[in-house]
């Protein structure tokens, strides 16, 4: 079972919880995810299954999109609604114009300190493990990029937003920092991820839907069409001879892709068998091979 499966993660589960449940449902041990979602958050969690786990290396810098709500009036130790308050609660009513103006300071490339309850490591130890033991967590600022950040509406002490960010950006930190700037404290009240790279909510399935599909023998219908994966890479459909060379790790000549760095190699319409990288001129070598079985020949 090889492919990309998009899960609509429910709140309350870690990304690893979703991976474990998917392993049991699909009866497939080799499953990974393309970008952690906090337990509080819901939405798009792409899973790479079987040999497609080798594609994870191409998604380490994937852009992500979110919708959520920031609550003003007090901060928390986790920077979200699941944490303990770290400032006295204040009764506040936020102005749409004021919050939109504030949001403008967070667009573009900014310096951001990751939350203390995060997977960022301090001397090899994840920060959240130290924070849970009430040990001091001192994380250095990192540069992140917030490509779009729109305040959609305000209601009392809450502001609804939509954002598109580069990999490594914490919306929890954005909420916390906005509260610091206003002097009233704030935290991320809710968060839903709507896209990771080319994968969107339209591709997503609940764990219950995946379980039902497996029971009915329809699990293949849940996987993303391989032709839609890594859309920035051009595609080539291999002949039997080309497929044989690619599957065994040998180079092939692709004169139509002289300017491409990486190429998706298909055998027939849906079988993605390799990602090939250009070594010189029009000569390509398989960077990763996803299918090693030989194509059938008619005699």
Please say if 38 is a catalytic residue.
yes
Integer-rounded Cα radius of gyration of the chain:
22
Per the rule left: phi > 0, alpha: psi between -120 and 50, beta: everything else, 79 is left
Cβ pair 233, 16 in contact under 8 A: no
- The sign of the torsion formed by the CA atoms of 181, 191, 37, 17 equals positive
Across 220-252, b (16+ Cβ under 10 Å) vs e yields: eebbbebeebbeebeebebeeebbbbbbeeeeb
- DSSP letters spanning 100-118: HHHHGGGSEEEEEPPPSSS
In the set 8, 38, 157, 203, the catalytic residue is 38
Retrieve residue 92's tokens: 């506040």
Cβ pair 170, 102 in contact under 8 A: no
Cβ pair 128, 188 in contact under 8 A: no
Among candidates 83, 80, 103, which has minimal Cα distance to 170?
A: 80
How far apart CA 77 and CA 255 sit, in angstroms, is: 56
Q: Which residues does the annotation mark as catalytic?
A: 38
């Amino acid at each position: 079972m090889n492919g990309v499966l998009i899960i609509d993660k429910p709140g309350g589960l870690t990304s690893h919880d979703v991976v474990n449940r998917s392993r049991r449902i699909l009866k497939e041990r080799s499953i990974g995810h393309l970008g952690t979602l906090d337990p509080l958050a819901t939405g798009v969690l792409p899973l790479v299954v079987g040999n497609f786990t080798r594609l994870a290396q191409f998604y380490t810098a994937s852009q992500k999109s979110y919708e959520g709500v920031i609550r003003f009036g007090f901060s928390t130790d986790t920077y979200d609604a699941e944490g303990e308050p770290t400032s006295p609660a204040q009764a506040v009513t936020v102005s749409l114009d004021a919050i939109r103006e504030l949001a403008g300071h967070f667009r573009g490339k900014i310096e951001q300190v990751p939350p203390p309850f995060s997977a960022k490591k301090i001397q090899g130890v994840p920060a959240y493990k130290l924070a849970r033991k009430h040990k001091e967590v001192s994380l250095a600022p990192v540069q992140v990029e917030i490509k779009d950040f729109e305040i959609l509406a305000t209601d009392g002490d809450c502001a609804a937003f939509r954002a598109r960010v580069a990999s490594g950006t914490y919306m929890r930190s954005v909420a916390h920092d906005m509260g610091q700037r206003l002097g009233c404290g704030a935290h991320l009240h809710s968060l839903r991820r709507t896209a990771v790279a080319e994968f969107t909510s339209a591709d997503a399935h609940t764990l219950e839907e995946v379980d039902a599909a497996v029971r009915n023998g329809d699990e293949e219908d849940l996987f993303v069409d391989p032709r839609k994966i890594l859309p920035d890479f051009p595609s080539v459909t291999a002949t039997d001879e080309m497929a044989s060379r690619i599957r065994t790790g040998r180079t092939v000549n692709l004169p139509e892709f002289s300017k491409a760095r990486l190429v998706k190699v298909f055998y027939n319409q849906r079988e993605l068998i390799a990602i090939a990288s250009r070594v010189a001129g029009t000569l390509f070598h398989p960077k990763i091979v996803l299918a090693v079985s030989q194509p059938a020949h008619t005699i």
